């Protein structure tokens, strides 16, 4: 995970959970090929392998947005850009993060029984005593206020912002509707309001771009909110996956000291995450890793 100063905040390496599809778990590599032992995705586009490019001296460094390849993962250091080493790299720590995705128009699907939550996953994290950060959309908090409050009052967890409706902050972004530049700040603030309205207390000023998509305009739009934009350097491949072992292998292959892993807290879109977690956690602990929340990882 590289970290770049940008408009008063920090931006860590970019990727998108939408890069994997049903039954696959694709690890982003410079060749664009899937990780060993996982199902091959049908003709995936090539992943960018270049380091972040330089922005004009008057602005922040510019990273390649998520669309245009698999999930870009940038090197730990990028010569010529404003970079500090991976947070916590001297210590064997890893942050597991879980995106709680739900859009504003999915209420009817939830009413018909589709599960955008995953209480079993949260129960496993508690049972395994794994500190974690949940990047939550405001709409998810509205749909599951009791769960949001339970997560946000448990000191094991912290809740970060994943927008209100999981709409894109730059376009194109995997077909997601796009938030207008003038509405981006309000969208982030609306999500925080919805989350805090549930009674959640452990709410941190971190933001994850839906789909991992952003550009200069979205970075500038977020600056007044005071959030720090955080992406990830390890893609779990749990989105739409059906093979828990493939997801676990992908995470276990990718984790290094100071890694930040993206997973999902949405049963309908990531049904095997809980099973994968129950393998990932003991194996990483056996390797000497300690689990931390994003707030601790970012303190480095």
Domain range list for the chain: 3-17+60-299
Of how many residues is the chain composed? Answer: 300
pLDDT-derived band at 279, boundaries 50, 70, 90: very high
The mean pLDDT value for 7-34 works out to: 31
130, 296 contact by CB (below 8 A): no
Pick the CATH number of 3-17+60-299 from 3.90.1150.10, 3.20.20.370, 3.40.50.300, 3.40.50.720: 3.20.20.370
Nearest C-alpha neighbor of 229 from the set 180, 182, 161, 168: 161
| Residue of 206, 290, 280, 234 whose CA lies nearest to 76 | 234
pTM of the model: 0.76
Cβ burial, residue 299 (10 Å; 0-12/13-18/19+): exposed
CA distances from 7 to 39, 72, 161, 222 (A): 40, 22, 18, 8
SS3 279: helix
Q: Tally Cβ neighbours within 10 Å of residue 96.
A: 27
pLDDT tens column, 235-248: 999 999 999 999 99
Structural tokens at position 283: 């194996």
Mean pLDDT of 172-194: 96
Please, what is the average pLDDT of the chain?
76
Q: What is the pLDDT of residues 117-167, one digit of tens each?
A: 999 999 999 999 999 999 999 999 999 999 999 999 999 999 999 999 999
Average pLDDT over residues 49-72: 30
- C-alpha–C-alpha distance, residues 300 and 88, integer Å: 5
pLDDT, tens digit, 9 for 90 and up, residues 75-102:
233 333 222 344 445 589 999 999 999 9
């Amino acid at each position: 995970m590289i970290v770049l100063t940008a408009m008063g905040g920090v931006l860590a390496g970019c990727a998108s959970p939408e890069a994997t599809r049903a039954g696959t778990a694709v690890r982003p590599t410079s060749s664009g090929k899937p990780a060993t032992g996982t199902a091959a995705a049908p003709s995936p586009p090539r992943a960018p392998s270049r380091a972040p490019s330089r922005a004009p001296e008057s602005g922040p460094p510019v990273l390649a947005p998520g669309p245009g390849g698999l999930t870009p993962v940038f090197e730990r250091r990028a010569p010529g850009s404003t970079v500090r080493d991976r947070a916590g790299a001297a210590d064997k720590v890893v942050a597991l993060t879980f995106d709680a995705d739900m859009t504003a128009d999915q209420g009817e699907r939830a009413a018909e029984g589709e599960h955008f939550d995953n209480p079993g996953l949260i129960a496993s994290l508690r049972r395994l005593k794994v500190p974690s950060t949940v990047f939550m959309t405001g709409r998810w908090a509205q749909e599951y206020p009791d769960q949001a409050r339970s997560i946000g009052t448990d000191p094991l967890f912290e809740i970060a912002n994943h927008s209100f409706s999981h709409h894109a902050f730059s376009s194109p972004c995997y077909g997601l509707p796009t938030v207008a530049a003038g509405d981006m700040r309000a969208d982030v603030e609306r999500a925080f309001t919805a989350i805090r309205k549930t009674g959640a207390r452990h709410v941190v000023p971190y933001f994850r771009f839906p789909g991992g998509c952003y550009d200069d305009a979205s970075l500038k739009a977020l600056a007044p909110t005071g959030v720090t934009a955080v992406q990830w350097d390890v893609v779990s491949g749990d989105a739409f996956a059906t093979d828990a072992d493939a997801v676990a292998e992908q995470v276990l292959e990718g984790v290094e000291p100071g890694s930040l892993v993206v997973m999902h807290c949405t049963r309908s879109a990531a049904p095997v995450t809980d099973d994968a977690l129950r393998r990932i956690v003991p194996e990483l602990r056996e390797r000497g890793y300690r689990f931390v929340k994003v707030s601790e990882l970012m303190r480095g």
